[in-house]
Chains A and B, each alone.
Chain A
């Protein structure tokens, strides 16, 4: 009897404590006491997780090698075909680079400089089945700040959501709460991309009838403002969705990054691109739309890309890419978005 009463009282007390924690966390938001406590716990566990990760990584690698033996033959054939395709494309690359430089000069655009980055190791994943975050071993002492983009050699990894002195937490791009502006590299169709809690991501193009085909590369766009520099590879279109779904076409995107094998990542230290403030209602601003033909024949739409009087193909202001590839810059090496920052490119003068 005494024991039962003690269990009941203890359970009531602990459940109330848990509910108080929920209330505090929901009300305080990102800067509350529990957020600080999360930072302390992460910092406390990081060295142990780091050590275990170093020891266990070869074990995990061995498991994966066994698993992959069965897919190697198909993968080898696919890589041979890809290699042949790349050799073909490489022949035209030099000419395209020259053409790209010329076009940039024509548009008087500033060449993009290098990203300032810091390298970090992925130390641990979140213990929850509903959250896709990693802990990395770089923090505020390394210059990491919240909302900074995180990339690796394959493309976009995510963004920093919590910063401690020597570690940070990164929200992976596959987390359902992840959101970024994106566009297709081939046709520069813009839209938004979000995670879905697993491998495939979903892109929602602004134009439901956008020209998107299977195999198109999806890259980040700075068009709508946000934290990501333009041109960071995200993934490849696996399913173009239903263009008839005029309100919410969903394009399935297979990410380039293998999120189960994150080891080293780069945190882009360059300042996040500021969101362009809305122009509507701003006093003293008069916007004059550029002269456009009053009527556009449907057949002419296909030629807009090359039309010097028409709108540029890339909503970021970048020139139309003749080869259909995205040459906005390689991840971690080029591109600070200066040439494509909407605050520079599209803000009208008074």
Chain B
């Protein structure tokens, strides 16, 4: 019962660490994949809207607290909504589809980054320009689509090893 939140929490910490300490070392240019967003996608696809919403809120909050200049709360808002939406559309996806997770990883990376940048811009973060917004959104979307098979699949299998006791009854 308690093991599942612990596993998800550990996955979140690992994702944050890799995102901030490992990815900057890789030659991916100025843009990096958004591993936290991929984790949100993976949990939402596996567990549905409510867990997707929770992990989205947690991942967004951590992202907000690890940036300095953008307003806190923006990533929280974006990832919470993304987790909920993906969890909601989950029943309409074929469970064995290989392309659906890739498409969702791409679309969430594109829309998530674009929405985050736009909201930051609207809240007075004048560092964000239109060019940067487009470049980073496309880059994050592509990176996330490439990384999706090695994140979404393993996270799903890991979560299935720790099934929720009341999952079907509640969510």
Contacts and interface: CB of A to CB of B under 8 A. Distances in A.
A129 B50 contact: no
Interface string A27-64: 00000001001100110010011101100110111011
Interface residues of B, number: 63
A60 B66 contact: no
B100 interface: no
B67 A26 contact: no
A50 B91 CA distance: 41
A135 B74 CA distance: 21
A21 B67 contact: no
Contact of A48 (B17, B70, B74): B17
B136 A130 contact: yes
Given A7-B84, A22-B123, A53-B21, A38 B27 contact: no
A124 B20 contact: yes
Interface in A1-38: 3, 6-7, 10-11, 14-15, 17-26, 34, 37-38
Interface residues of A, number: 58
Contacts of A24: 72-73
B147 interface: no
Interface string B117-155: 100100111111100100010011000000000000000
Contacts of B57: 14, 17-18
A337 B30 CA distance: 33
Contacts of A199: 30
Contacts of A67: 27
B129 A197 contact: yes
Contacts of B158: none
B66 A38 contact: yes
Contacts of B20: 45, 49, 124-127, 135
B71 A14 contact: no
Interface in B4-33: 13, 16-27, 30-32
A126 B68 CA distance: 8
B3 interface: no
A130 B127 contact: yes
Interface string B147-171: 0000000000000000000000011
A177 B18 contact: no
B111 interface: no
Contacts of B71: 22, 25-26
A18 B17 contact: no
Nearest to B35: A127
Contacts of B32: 129
Interface string A45-88: 10011101100110111011001000000000000000000000
B108 interface: no
B127 A177 contact: yes
B87 to A, nearest CB: 8
Contacts of A49: 17, 20-21
A51 to B, nearest CB: 8
Interface in A150-207: 161-162, 169, 171, 175-177, 197-199
Given A37-B65, A38-B66, A124-B21, A130 B16 contact: no
A63 B27 CA distance: 7
Given A42-B65, A63-B26, A177-B126, 14 more contacts: A11-B80, A17-B76, A21-B72, A22-B73, A26-B123, A34-B72, A37-B65, A49-B21, A53-B22, A124-B21, A126-B20, A129-B34, A129-B140, A197-B132
16 contacts: A3-B171, A38-B72, A41-B65, A42-B66, A48-B21, A52-B17, A53-B22, A53-B25, A123-B21, A124-B21, A128-B63, A129-B31, A130-B117, A175-B69, A176-B128, A177-B69
Interface of A: 3, 6-7, 10-11, 14-15, 17-26, 34, 37-38, 41-42, 45, 48-50, 52-53, 56-57, 59-61, 63-64, 67, 123-131, 133, 135, 161-162, 169, 171, 175-177, 197-199, 260
Query: 4 smallest A-B Cβ distances: which pairs?
Result: A60-B25, A21-B73, A176-B127, A22-B73
